[in-house]
Amino acid sequence: MAVKVVSKKEKQITLQVTIDLRGSMLNMEEKILEAHNDLGRKATEIALENFDTDGGPIVVGDIKLTSRSKNNRTYQTPYGPVDVERHVYQSSKGGRIFCPLESAARIINGATPRFAKILSNKYAKMCAPEVVDDLESNHGRHVTLRYLQNVSESVATIAQVKEEAWEYHTPEIEVPIKTVSISMDGAYVLMHEDGYREAMVGSISLYDRAGERQHTIYVGASPEYGKSEFKERIEREITHVKGLYPKAQYIGIADGAKSNWDFLKKHTSKQLIDFYHVTEYLAKVAEAAHPAKTGKPERTAWLDERCHQLKHDLGAALSILEEMRALKRTKKLRREVLENLDAAITYFSNNHEMMGYHKHVKRKLPIGSGVTEAACKTLIKQRFCRSGMRWKTKGMKIVLSLRQLIQTGTRWKQFWNKINQYGVPATA
């Protein structure tokens, strides 16, 4: 199916394509897709030529470069591969080859920027064979697994290299931000050599006076000993947010892990045990309160009442703690139920001072890390915990750096705007 260039002047082209509309509707649609890709390839080929030089000497930094030759290279685009003759340059002393077209057009590993954006976005969400099949089946676009992974790795490398240098703007929020909730949690991922290890997820959520969440920043990190990389990254985000909202109240919400609180206490004025972690303990205590096999309705009612007390009554945590201790003294319980009761007693004994939920509910402040819990699922588990998957640290970092950009509001768009503005780092 040939594409004809009808006219070409300055920065505008007109193309013409003829489509054979015989056969079934499905056949026609497939021919239309082929024509669309043919048009896209021809238009992209001409567009790329606009970024080449006339072959004259150029200066990059403080080094003069001269054209060695004009040779051919195949570039990958959303519509298919295109071949372009372009100038390549080198200094009189030899050394690194420089291609002005690739620099100016923001080529990433042989892919045009939009195609690199498409590949890396899909790879962040689907495993490589699924992406290859999706492109082939739905877009008439064939790529190899290796090429998909190489381009995605290059895009992720840009994100990692520029993580500190490129500041991402928090969306303008029309209502005043009263509260900022900082939460941390972990999700276990099967690693290639170390078995199951904990990947970390952090969220920084902005709430208005009515307690409505207006924006959330997500931070994820692959498993690491000491979690230093994760803490450095979330600390940078906290500093950024505090610069925007210095008068907001900062609340740390997490489960009972000591390492979480050692970090959160440095950055928040109030700390709260995640309400939903507490309810998980209480759900098991309900078995001790009503251990009979037919006692499910009573267990449900008991749990609902204790959750209501925690949310609305002063001193509820201590009251429930005393009730649990009484259950241990007065009830004859199965070993498993008794162990769960002991665990809950220990948990409440250690953390009851951070269970003042009634004050937070009254003031419309967050009481749970549901946002972070959801992020553990969407950021980590949906992509990294699928059946049969085992990850190497490098591969996980690549995908995770892409996923957190995509999941945090407008950051994916901002990231590509910065590539458009500043270019592609040499390291990518």
Q: What is the per-residue burial (b if ≥16 Cβ within 10 Å, else e) of 284-321? A: bbbbbbbbeeeeeeebeebbeebbebbeeeeebbeebb
pLDDT in tens, 97-106: 999 999 999 9
Query: What pLDDT score does 137 carry?
Result: 96
Query: What pLDDT score does 373 carry?
Result: 80
Contact 74, 83 (CB under 8 A): yes
Provide mean pLDDT across the span 201-206: 93
Answer whether residue 356 is part of any domain.
yes
* DSSP conformation class of 376: I
Residues 305 and 227 reside in one and the same domain: no
Query: What pLDDT score does 69 carry?
Result: 86
Number of domains, the chain: 2
**426 has a pLDDT exceeding 80:** no
CA 153 – CA 147 distance, rounded (Å) = 10
Residues 397 and 378 reside in one and the same domain: yes
Give the confidence band of 50 by pLDDT, cuts at 50, 70, 90.
very high
Query: What pLDDT score does 139 carry?
Result: 95
Taking only Cα atoms into account, the Rg of the chain, rounded to an integer number of angstroms, comes to 29
CA 151 – CA 153 distance, rounded (Å) = 5
Query: What pLDDT score does 10 carry?
Result: 80
For 93, 100, 201, 304, the CA distances from 233, given in Å and listed in that order, are: 41, 34, 11, 38
Strands 58-60 and 12-17: unpaired
Query: What pLDDT score does 11 carry?
Result: 85
- Cα torsion for 144, 145, 151, 152, to the nearest 10°? 150
Residues 267 and 387 reside in one and the same domain: yes
Q: What is the mean pLDDT of the chain?
A: 93
**1 has a pLDDT exceeding 70:** no
Residues 186 and 315 reside in one and the same domain: no
Domain boundary among 350, 367, 384: 367
pLDDT in tens, 117-156: 999 999 999 999 999 999 999 999 999 999 999 999 999 9
pLDDT in tens, 15-36: 999 999 999 999 999 999 999 9
Answer whether residue 428 is part of any domain.
no
Answer whether residue 323 is part of any domain.
yes
Residues 255 and 380 reside in one and the same domain: yes
pLDDT in tens, 230-259: 999 999 999 999 999 999 999 999 987 788
CA 323 – CA 80 distance, rounded (Å) = 69
Answer whether residue 300 is part of any domain.
yes
Strands 12-17 and 3-9: antiparallel
Query: What pLDDT score does 215 carry?
Result: 93
Residues 265 and 376 reside in one and the same domain: yes
* DSSP conformation class of 378: I
Give the SS3 label for residue 113: helix
**225 has a pLDDT exceeding 90:** no
What sign does the dihedral 309-205-217-225 (CA atoms) show?
Answer: negative
Domain boundary among 339, 367, 395: 367
Closest CA to 204 of 418, 404, 357: 404
Answer whether residue 265 is part of any domain.
yes
Provide mean pLDDT across the span 321-329: 95
Residues 318 and 380 reside in one and the same domain: no
Residues 262 and 384 reside in one and the same domain: yes
Residues 260 and 285 reside in one and the same domain: no
Residues 267 and 178 reside in one and the same domain: yes
**How open is the CA angle 32-36-42, to the nearest 5 degrees?**
145
Residues 178 and 258 reside in one and the same domain: yes
Provide mean pLDDT across the span 204-211: 93
Domain span including residue 193: 172-271+369-409
Q: What percent of the chain has pLDDT over 90?
A: 82
Query: What pLDDT score does 185 carry?
Result: 87
pLDDT in tens, 104-121: 999 999 999 999 999 999
Give the confidence band of 409 by pLDDT, cuts at 50, 70, 90.
confident
Answer whether residue 147 is part of any domain.
no
pLDDT in tens, 351-408: 999 999 999 999 888 898 778 788 888 899 999 999 999 999 999 999 999 999 999 9
Provide mean pLDDT across the span 28-45: 96
Residues 230 and 184 reside in one and the same domain: yes
For 204, 304, 312, 428, the CA distances from 355, given in Å and listed in that order, are: 20, 17, 11, 47
What sign does the dihedral 115-120-125-128 (CA atoms) show?
Answer: positive
